[in-house]
Chain A
Amino acid sequence: MYSPELYLNLALNALSVGMLYFLICSGFSLVFGLLRVLNFAHGSLIMWGAYLGVFFTRALSSFSGALILTAVIIGILGVLIEFFLIRRLYGNELFQLLLTFGLIFILDEVVKLIWGPGVIPVEKPEFLQGSVMIYGEPFTLYRLFILATGAIVCVSIYLLLKKTKLGLIIRAGIENKEMVRALGVNINKVFTLVCGMGGFLGGVAGFVLGGFSGLSPEMGFGQLINILVIVVVGGLGSFIGTAVAAIILGLSESFLGFFLPEFAMIGIFIVMFVVLSIKPSGLFGGE
């Protein structure tokens, strides 16, 4: 039989995968929650975050500096996409879907143009290369870094939403946009800002993901599938649901990957079917 230490190690690994999923989904979920726009290009934004992150880490030779710069640039990209493209199509869900879908082509092809179509392995920064021993089982430092980043992002989003005036407006906007507008808030500016935040979070997620799994021009679409499954399982528009679903999916993937490696790739779909057949609107979905 397997020892309890092994299970603990497996659980910690699963938790770090879940945190990574949470980082990947957080921007998407935030944008959908307020704007009701499914940003299919979010996976590609994450991929841009990963590529830029590696590029800046090499150019700046400063890990934290590169992280912030990447996140800010992807955030600006998010603002630009909202301001010039999505804004034109409010009220037309079908075309918003198609628009963000079309952006995938552009973003992915430009990555291929600049960095080539091949896979690029990424070396983790020196101070994150080793591993720590937890109850006699090794746990890599990079996974610890993912856990820490995920926790920081989670807490800061919580604080932002619950403790600031902007968060108040966002939460009110999720409930009823027209009423917020009627009360004299320029909600269009808030939309743009939230898109920027979504991009920022995508940049952070991409940066972390790039160091974790390397770079490839297909990673954007792959992450998009993960995002969609997680968001559907958690319940569309529910931020807590996204977090919980990300952890569940991380757990199921890691444990399946260990005990039934054949099923690891389709594990997330199985979880999705099970959840949807029990509760069609997702774990935390309303309606």
Chain B
Amino acid sequence: MIIYLKRHWFALATLALLTLLPFFSSEYILVIAMQIFIWGAFAISYDLLIGYTGIVSFGHAMFFGAGAYLTALLMLKAGFNFWATIPVVIVICALAGLLVGLLTLRFSDIYFTLITLALGEFSFFIVWKAYKFTGGDDGLHGLPAILPGKDYIYYLTLTLLLLIYFFAKRLIGSPLGTTLVALRENEFRAKMIGYNVLAYKLIVLMISGVMAGLAGSMNAAVLRSVFPGFMSAHSTLNVILMTIIGGMGSLLGPVLGAGLVTVSQQYLSSYFDSWLLIFGVSFVLIVLFLPKGIISVASAFKFKKRSGAVFKTHI
């Protein structure tokens, strides 16, 4: 127990701080914190693809948007309860992941990247054009509140992030996760050893799609409205920024990135219109000089002595 405390004091302190946050902070800060949790969960799902399996999707927002729109449509048009939409989101996002994977993963990774970008734009156009259903540009508004208070929703989003984080951690530590890393390191060798590369990639795409979809439906529930922007390339750009700047190939990195990007989006944008330029430059610099992102600096200092599970696969 004491050893556990000693090892994880930082994480536990952060968690305690986040748990107590609603008691002393303003509503505005809570809203930003919720956005960070949701985008952090989305970024973790993206990192499973890019950081652990080594496949680059440029259309990941389609799952995020699909989750958001499914929840919103089912709640508004079919009178579903929020909790009842979750199984639907899981099933549909898994199927979508399977379909996207079957369409794209048969080819080389480059094709996967190109076609996911095109598919992402395609799904954005569909949502944008289907005005009768999705409200087009305006989005859908007035979702019923899912819990009786802001604080409860805050804890719900925090729970979602923690669930997704620990699920991903478990996944990475499992034989499946090790196989995924093997695919990233040397796909050809993995194939020769006898792994069914396509099947593994399909599985991770489905898992990642479901995670992104859940983050999306949570976002719909928190904002109580959805916008086509959830599905657009902008969301994909955001999640890529978060994952790369925070640090791909680790699970805390994307969450850190989500925090950085969301906070700067809120604060920098009021002083400086082109805050994205700063992120563009730092993105390029990180790609060139710090391929494991900001988290790798932190882990070099803080976690030097121990071989924590989070960084075990951090090759």
Contact = CB atoms under 8 A, between A and B. Distances in A.
Contact of A109 (B56, B103, B107, B277): B277
A42 to B, nearest CB: 13
Interface string A224-239: 1100110110001000
Given A98-B287, A110-B277, A228 B114 contact: yes
Given A38-B110, A236-B111, A265 B280 contact: no
B288 A99 contact: yes
B288 A280 contact: no
A232 B114 contact: yes
Interface of A: 38, 85, 88-89, 93-95, 97-99, 101-106, 108-110, 112-113, 117, 221, 224-225, 228-229, 231-232, 236, 262, 265-266, 269, 272-273, 276, 280-281
Interface stretch (B6-14, B117-125, B153-161): B117-125
Given A88-B288, A102-B287, A225 B280 contact: no
A86 B115 CA distance: 23
Contacts, number: 96
Given A269-B118, A272-B115, A276-B115, 8 more contacts: A38-B114, A88-B288, A89-B288, A98-B240, A113-B277, A231-B114, A236-B110, A280-B106
A262 B122 CA distance: 14
B277 A281 contact: no
Contacts of A266: 122, 125-126, 129
Q: Could you tell me the dominant secondary structure of chain B's interface residues?
A: helix
B233 A221 contact: yes
Interface residues of B, number: 38
Nearest to B291: A95
B179 interface: no
A88 B284 CA distance: 12
B107 A281 contact: yes
Contact of A101 (B103, B240, B281, B291): B240
Contacts of A97: 56, 113
B299 interface: no
Contacts of A276: 103, 115
B274 interface: yes
26 contacts: A38-B113, A38-B114, A85-B284, A94-B50, A98-B244, A98-B287, A99-B287, A99-B288, A101-B240, A102-B280, A103-B280, A103-B284, A105-B276, A105-B279, A110-B274, A112-B274, A113-B274, A225-B121, A228-B117, A229-B118, A232-B114, A265-B129, A269-B119, A269-B121, A280-B106, A280-B107
A232 B287 contact: no
Nearest to A263: B129
Contacts of A38: 110, 113-114
A281 B50 CA distance: 23
Interface of B: 50, 54, 56, 58, 103, 106-107, 109-111, 113-115, 117-119, 121-122, 125-126, 129, 233, 237, 240-241, 244, 273-274, 276-277, 279-281, 283-284, 287-288, 291
B284 A99 contact: yes
Nearest to B54: A94
A95 B287 contact: yes
A265 to B, nearest CB: 6
Contact of B277 (A101, A106, A273): A106
Interface centre among A113, A262, A276 (most CB of B within 10 A): A276
A224 B54 CA distance: 23
Rank and list the top 10 A-B pairs by shortest CB-CB distance, nearest first.
Answer: A105-B280, A109-B277, A102-B283, A106-B280, A102-B284, A269-B122, A228-B114, A109-B274, A98-B287, A99-B287
Contacts of A108: 276
B278 to A, nearest CB: 9
A112 B273 contact: yes
B101 to A, nearest CB: 14
Interface centre among A110, A221, A228 (most CB of B within 10 A): A228
A106 B281 contact: yes
Nearest to B56: A97
Contacts of B129: 262, 265-266
Contacts of B287: 89, 95, 98-99, 102
B103 to A, nearest CB: 7
Given A95-B291, A97-B56, A105 B277 contact: yes
B125 A265 contact: yes
A192 to B, nearest CB: 18
